[in-house]
Structure 1
Amino acid sequence: MTNTALITGASRGLGLALARSLAEAGWRLVLTARGVNELERAAAELGATAIPGDVTEPAHVRRLADAVPELDLLVNNASGLGATPLPPLAGYPLEAFRVLLETNVTAPLALIQATLPALRARRGAVVNVTSDAATGAYEGWGGYGATKAALEQLSNVLAAEEPELAVWWTDPGEMNTRMLADAVGADEAASATDPAKVAAALHDLVHTRPASGRVSLQ
């Protein structure tokens, strides 16, 4: 039986690295991201199904759910950084915060809700990618960190409510990604961990299937 994974934010960074790792292990992959060209190149490389779009749009969530009537793994990796340069909370633009909540909290919950029947049927797993900013008081990271803290508690409750599923909220640590470069600059980001190394740890997590909970991947 072939395992199926749905990965958001899969055109680059951790999402793409995990897709490559799972493809090598023979998984069927459904990949989504907003960047059409990058996503289609990734899908062509991996023999995956590409469904470009924005996970905050209900119609796109429905398309994704329809594409995975059988689902073993949902990876909510797509994420927004929020306002940049990273502002203090005293001056955080509230509209930008509302958009960030929609992307980092509401959209993952919507996709979980839409795919739960398929996940339950296969006793599948959910990975919600969070951050150490969810637990640490890092200046400038209050908006982003607050959304990731909300995603962590959402994951915690989901694990309690869906005991037949594995639910992990994973802290990947700092990775050399475009998002980190946007936050701290390209030079600092270049010294961070290669996403492929984190993806290997995440693949091991899926393979070994420990109990639901928070997992640090570095």
Structure 2
Amino acid sequence: MPVAIVTGASKGFGRALSHALAARGWELVVDARGAEALKAADFGSSVTLVPGDVTDPAHRADLINAVSRLDLLVNNASALGPSPQPRLASYPLTEFSSVYEANVIAPLALIQLALPLLTKVDGTVVNVSSDAAVEAYEGWGGYGSSKAALDRLSAVLAVEQPSLRVYAFDPGDMRTDMHQAAFPGEDISDRPEPSTVVPSLLKLLDERPPSGRYTK
């Protein structure tokens, strides 16, 4: 039975992906900052819940210690930053630092802990990216630049660890709480549900194309 760690699994894309992997027979370890929301996601008996914040080193250690084998690490948890999104000229630097802590430093720290297990099985790392990593949208300098940094981190990791598959996966706009927070007061009902994007990532996992940046 393959084993995966999925962060940010209580809602949105992380929850949809975790349900899909569990349905395929994967053994999962999942996290989220809210313990009740994680429990309410109702993943089933093959999924181990480890509530916590990925920016906490002790929590990251708990995630890795919960597995003895690891085939897949999905760095899905991320921080949007202030809502509405501020322009760079007035972006609070403490908030900017927090976005990078969640979106760049925490994923790298978890990768570092996971590498000994992943390299044993020629495993896969998925870093969930965004179109804001490659497109310059007004107000997205914090989140977008953090995802651009995560993309570059993914590319360099792929060169340094050629036995692994390392994917920066851009799911596009989705109908999620985070997307709603980015557009407060707007109607985002035209965005696709996260579950409709999951098959694109499952296809990557099944076909294992070369490491790189992929979109849905």
| CA deviations over 1:31-82 (Å, ceiling 9, x no partner) | 0010101112225546310000000011011111111220000000000001
Q: TM-score, normalised by structure 1?
A: 0.96
Residue matched to 2:57: 58
In the TM superposition, 1:118-129 aligns within 5 A as 118-129=117-128
**Aligned residue type for 1:33:** A
* Structure 2 residue 40 is matched with structure 1 residue 77: no
Structure 1 gap segments, 5+ residues each: none
Unaligned ranges ≥5, structure 2: none
Determine which structure has the larger helix proportion and give its number. 1
**Counterpart residue number, 1:205:** 204
Q: Which whole-Å CA distance do the structure 2 matches of 1:80 and 1:44 have between them?
A: 23
Structure 1 pair 186/127, CA: closer, same or farther in 2 (3 Å)?
A: farther
Residue aligned with 1:108, SS = helix
Q: Distance in 1 between matches of 2:60 and 2:128?
A: 18
Distance 2:3 2:187 in 1: 36
Measured in 2, the distance between the counterparts of 1:120 and 1:36 equals 30
Question: What's 1:191 paired with?
Answer: 190
- The runs of at least 4 consecutive aligned structure 1 residues that moved more than 4 Å come to none
Structure 2 distance, partners of 1:121, 1:191, is 43
Deviation at 1:187, TM superposition (A): 4.3
Q: Percent identity?
A: 51
Helix, strand or coil for the counterpart of 2:167? strand
1:174 is displaced (CA, Å) by 0.2
Which residue pairs with 2:4 in the alignment? 5
Aligned to 1:130: 129
User: Separation in 1 of the partners of 2:47 and 2:135?
Assistant: 36
Residue aligned with 1:87, SS? coil
CA contact (8 A) 2:3 2:72 kept: yes
Seen in structure 2, the aligned counterparts of structure 1 residues 45 and 143 have a Cα distance that, compared at 3 Å, is same
Q: How does 1:1-218 map to 2 (within 5 A)?
A: 2-45=1-44, 47-185=46-184, 187-217=186-216
Q: CA RMSD in A?
A: 1.1
Cα gap change, 1:38 to 1:47, in 2 (>3 Å): farther
Describe the SS at the equivalent of 2:197.
helix
Tell me the distance in 2 between the aligned counterparts of 1:203 and 1:186.
33
Which moved further from structure 2: 44-53 or 93-102? 44-53
TM-score with structure 2 length normalisation?
A: 0.97
Query: SS in structure 2 opposite 1:126?
Result: strand
